[in-house]
Structure 1
Amino acid sequence: MELDEIDEQLVRALQRDGRASWEALAREVGLARSTTKARVRRLVDECGLRLVGAVHPGALDLNQMGHVTVEVAGPALPVAEQLAALVETSFVTTTAGRFAVTAELRTTDLDAFQRGLSRVQAVPGVLAVQVLTYTHLWKDPYFPPGPLSASGSARQFDLDAADHALLSRLRVDGRASFAELAEVSGLSPGATRARVLRLLGAGVLHIGALVRLTPLSRVHTAGFAVSLGGATEGVAEHLTAIDEVDSFAEGIGWCNGIGSIRAGSQEAVFATLERIRALPKVRALESWTHLRAVKEEHDLAHPLTT
């Protein structure tokens, strides 16, 4: 189903705030509240839009994150499906380019990350892997930016049973009503609202539209890796200021940083890549096109436990 510009505006607004009121969304697109609500309902019911809560990895004690690009021998999909079955992977895609498969790993620490990487390398059909272990999230549609360290605010947040119940429910339905959330949390609707706002304010939770590889529209999604001549800081700030750059993480490994681009056309993707190449200190840029999401964290989210 083809989306028009108003639909695209709604998706972008919901990506920023998946619990935005109907009135706020109506003001965003210049339509009546009832029309706006009907539009969003159509996006959810007919187009497969999902509004979900993303829990910061640090709140789940997943303190080590990284990106793996995979070269394969033979068909890519069986490899991607086996990678998706690993508990360490949170996101797996098939791609067009030198790397047939990409994956993101999230583990408790570096030792667990290494064990997960060994399992990736042991999957039949995996020919070679290139790894970037994240040290800093500069931009991500689901998590607040900042260093991946034990001092992050999400890691200092003390979660109790009610918090975990709320997070589990919101991972499935980011727009669940406070009355519905009160039922699972055991709190009053007022106390539930205060808890949800606290989780959002602390960066533990972000509620938004799941859009990384959405089939909703004509948006093209590409990945890229940059190698720099010098410190990432400064370059990363310029890079993440580009609207089409959807995410960017700095790390240690085969390149200095990895990110993604979302744009309305192949020409816009190319123009964004050209802007990145023109940034100071960028010495090399490699890119690939994401074709299919084989595993998306929110599709396969397991209930949280205390």
Structure 2
Amino acid sequence: MTLLLDDLDRRIAAALVGNGRASWRRIATVLGEPERSVARRGARLLDEGIVRVLALPNLRGPLRVDPHALRARVRPGAMRATGEALAAREDVGRVSVLASENVVYAELFLASGEVLDFVDAGLGAIEGITGYRLDEISRYHRTASGWRPDLLTSEQYELLGNVDEHASLFATPIDLDEGTTTLFAALRQDGRATAQQLARELGVSTATVASRLEQASAAGALFIRGVVSPAVLGYPVEALLRLDPMPGELDRVAAVFAARPETRVCAVAGASVVVDLATADVAALEAAVAAAAARLPAPCPMHLDLVAAGPKRGGVRFDGDLPTHDALQMRLTT
């Protein structure tokens, strides 16, 4: 059953998706609502686990892993179990069980020497998988950290701060210095920990904390992610779109979809562009795809699948519309 939130709750949740570390005062100012009401409602969204605000390091830093897109063909009757089995893995960040065909899609992070082990031991151990396709994700044009649902205007998101999510850096090798590593350790359980709380824990000044946060974000070393089910925000129709443009048009096609508010994730995987979309209904989905398609180069074949379930989003396990844990269920250190 989908949770029912009123308009203000949805706008507060969208603000946390836009900038998970924005203060209640800033969110209230941007929304034009009383701070006390925003703080009370926002705290409830966090306390009840409807929204999780988490810190995620650039996984190509500490682990030297590469993101991959998996399409696993599954025997009918084993779809749910396969989705849960993949979601339980610490090297998997996102899982979508498709409704349009017997396929489970997953985004995972593997070192170069782990691919064959994953295929043989990982996929081979999951009963029901009959085939697969695994493509390395070479670059992101949007990650879940950069989703900006149209519950708020672009001007409101700008006022919240954290406008540029630096998506292109999410698949870029980067070295994490000691300051960033200790900062992430402090933020791992609570991405909204205040600068004062972090300063006390790390034994540094609040100015140092603010500087480290800004530098880590700008360098693509640290991502703050507001994790919530799209259905909770009023977008129950989720779809996975795969586009196959000419090789020289991959980034152009990805940029078209990355600019749209319906796009949660957009990446170049192999010779394709993969897009995760969330809309209020099927008509809105069709309209969004049609509007984007009008700006695409030809030829650009596309394949659209509706999503039946998302047992893992943003590195967090989900049961229906609610996260099941407070923290990331992913391997984050060696």
Q: TM-score, normalised by structure 1?
A: 0.85
- Preserved CA contact (<8 Å) 2:65 2:109: yes
User: Is the counterpart of residue 95 in structure 1 residue 89 in structure 2?
Assistant: no
- Secondary structure of the corresponding residue to residue 207 of structure 1: strand
Give, in whole Å, the separation in 2 of the partners of 1:197 and 1:230: 35
In the aligned structure 1, how far is the partner of 2:213 from the partner of 2:328? 22
Distance 1:282 1:248 in 2: 19
Q: Does 1:260 align with 2:263?
A: no
Aligned length: 297
The correspondence for 2:265, drawn from 247, 263, 266, is 247
| Kept in 1: contact 2:13–2:233 (CA 8 A) | no
Partner of 1:208: 225
Quick check: 1:56 aligned with 2:78? no
- The one-letter code matched in structure 2 to 1:267 is A
Q: Specify which of 134, 137, 141 is matched with residue 131 of structure 1.
A: 134
> Which digits, 9 at most, give the CA deviation of each residue in 1:5-62, with x for residues without a partner?
3333222222121111222211221111112112212222346211111222222334
The residue matched to 2:138 in structure 1 has which SS?
A: strand
Secondary structure of 1:234's match? helix
Match of 1:225 in 2: 242
Match of 2:38, SS state, is helix
| Matched-pair contact (CA < 8 Å) for 1:105–1:113 | no
Please say if residues 69 and 269 of structure 2, whose CA atoms lie closer than 8 Å, have aligned partners that are also in contact. Answer: no
Taking the TM superposition and a 5 Å limit, the aligned residue runs for 1:279-298 are 279-296=296-313, 297-298=315-316
**Which residue of the partner structure matches residue 269 of structure 1?**
285
Amino acid at match of 2:167: P
Cα distance change on mapping 1:107 and 1:16 into 2, 3 Å: same
Q: CA deviation at 1:301?
A: 3.3
Contact 1:64 1:113 in 2 (8 A): no
The answer to whether 1:6 aligns with 2:8 is yes
Identity %: 22
Where 1:233 maps in the other structure, the secondary structure is helix
8 Å Cα contact 2:230-2:278 kept in structure 1:
no
2:36 corresponds in structure 1 to: 34
Q: Which runs of 5 or more residues in structure 1 are unaligned?
A: none
Alignment partners' CA distance in 2, 1:215 and 1:238: 24
Q: Note the C-alpha offset of 1:283.
A: 2.8
> Aligned partners of 1:239 and 1:201: how far apart in 2?
23
> Aligned equivalents of 1:230 and 1:82: distance in 2?
34
Q: Secondary structure at the match of 2:301?
A: strand
What is aligned with 1:177? Answer: 194
Secondary structure at the counterpart of residue 236 of structure 1? helix
**Distance in 2 (alpha carbons) for counterparts of 1:257 and 1:240:** 11
Q: Separation in 2 of the partners of 1:51 and 1:183?
A: 20
- The one-letter code sitting in structure 2 at the alignment partner of 1:91 is R
Q: 1:294 and 1:237 mapped to 2: Cα distance?
A: 27
With over 3 angstroms needed to count, the CA separation of the structure-2 counterparts of 1:148 and 1:19, relative to structure 1, is closer
Q: Secondary structure at the match of 2:233?
A: coil
Distance change in 2, residues 1:67/1:170 (3 Å): same
The DSSP-based 3-state class of the residue aligned with 2:188 is helix
1:155 matched to 2:171? no
Which of 79, 82, 92 is the matching residue for 1:79?
A: 82
Equivalent residues of 2:100, 2:306 under 8 A apart: yes
Match of 2:329 among 276, 297, 301: 301
User: Which amino acid in 1 is paired with 2:235?
Assistant: V
Q: Is 1:224–1:287's contact at 8 Å kept on the other side of the alignment?
A: yes
Corresponding residue for 2:167? 145
Write the deviation string for residues 145-187 of structure 1: whole angstroms up to 9, x where unpaired: 22677xx4x604x421x53233133232111123432354343
Deviations 1:210-250 (A, max 9, x none): 03x35523313221111113421322222222221222111
RMSD: 2.6
Q: Matches of 1:85 and 1:42 in 2, distance apart? A: 27
Letter in 2 for 1:202: A
Give the 3-state SS of the residue equivalent to 1:228 in structure 2.
coil
Match of residue 157 from structure 2: none
Structure 1 pair 93/141, CA: closer, same or farther in 2 (3 Å)?
closer
Change in CA separation of 1:229 and 1:305 when aligned onto 2, cut-off 3 Å: closer
* Structure 2 gap segments, 5+ residues each: 146-164, 317-326
Structure 2 equivalent of residue 19 of structure 1: 21
